[in-house]
Amino acid sequence: MLPPRVLVFAGSARKAALSKRVARAAHIALLEAGADATLIDLADYHAPLYHGDLEAEQGVPEVITRLMAVIDQHDALLIATPEYNGSMPPLLVNTLDWCSRIFAAPGRVAGLDILAQKPVAIVGSSPGALGGLRSLFHLRDLLGNLGMLVMPKQLAVGRSNEAVTSEGHLVDDHVRAAMLGVARALVDATAKLKA
Ligand SMILES: Cc1cc2nc3c(=O)[nH]c(=O)nc-3n(C[C@H](O)[C@H](O)[C@H](O)COP(=O)(O)O)c2cc1C
């Protein structure tokens, strides 16, 4: 059987984002866990803030259609999120909201059908001690509402400005092992679903 294809991205478009470092660390862990993992940058899929009038006039942005095509080519997702005021950053909410607005049409699969039953692992990132833990509860909820299978195992990388290098190397052995645990759980669950 082919290895599970896992798409990884951070919930920040910022060039020097700490969550991008954590996403790189997750990508490395997924490769070690046997996944065929792809790392993308949401900066390449920048969509305007969701607005019903904009949607009625122009439809779903082309970047979102492109992003959903990439998501569709993967068996699972891993999202590394920053924490904003104890919750998810607007970039993630906006991106996922737009993704949910692709409706079925001839030759087109609905966004929610692409996301439904797709396994997803979540990891938090913050320069603070809690590692964005509070944001994970909100993200878990949102992804569940999209019909995704959110992995029970998660990780919050605290002090991520020190805990992970810009190349995605997790400095502490325990944190690196925990990231590998998240990656292995996602790969195993995805492989079982594919079997
Ligand atoms: C609007 C806003 C709210 C924030 N709220 C939190 C928070 O609740 N908890 C936290 O740990 N950090 C918070 N931060 C700090 C972010 O964790 C920090 O800016 C982080 O580097 C942003 O993620 P990024 O590096 O991936 O872009 C907040 C930052 C902003 C801009």
Return the closest-CA partner of residue 122 out of 90, 154, 91, 149: 154
Q: Which of 83, 93, 165 to mutate to test the pocket of ligand 1 (most atoms within 8 A of CB)?
A: 83
Burial readout 107-133 (b: 16 or more C-beta within 10 A, e: otherwise):
eeeebbebbeebbbbbbbbbeeeebbb
Give dist(CA 150, CA 143) in Å, integer. 7
Residue 89 is predicted with a pLDDT of: 98
Kindly report the CATH number assigned to the domain that includes residue 138. Answer: 3.40.50.360
Q: Which atom of ligand 1 is nearest to the CA of 20?
A: 26
Domain range enclosing 119: 5-194
**Can you tell me the distance from the alpha carbon of 21 to that of 15, in angstroms, rounded to the nearest whole number?**
10
In what helix (H) or strand (E) does residue 79 lie, and over which residues does it extend?
Answer: strand 76-82
Residues touching ligand 1 (Cβ under 6 Å) are 12, 14, 17-19, 82-86, 125-128, 132
> How many CA atoms within 13 Å lie on the side-chain side of 144?
9
Give how many domains the chain has, as a whole number: 1
**Cβ–Cβ contacts within 10 Å for residue 23, how many?**
28
- Span from the CA of 83 to the centroid of ligand 1 (angstroms): 5
- Tell me, in angstroms, the distance from the centre of ligand 1 to residue 84's CA: 5
Nearest to 7 by CA among 152, 155, 164, 119: 119
Residue 106, pLDDT score: 67
pLDDT along the chain (195 residues), means of 10: 95 98 98 98 98 95 95 97 98 97 77 92 98 98 96 98 98 98 98 92
The residue whose CA has the least distance to atom 6 of ligand 1 is 84
**pTM here?**
0.97
Å from CA of 73 to ligand 1 middle: 31
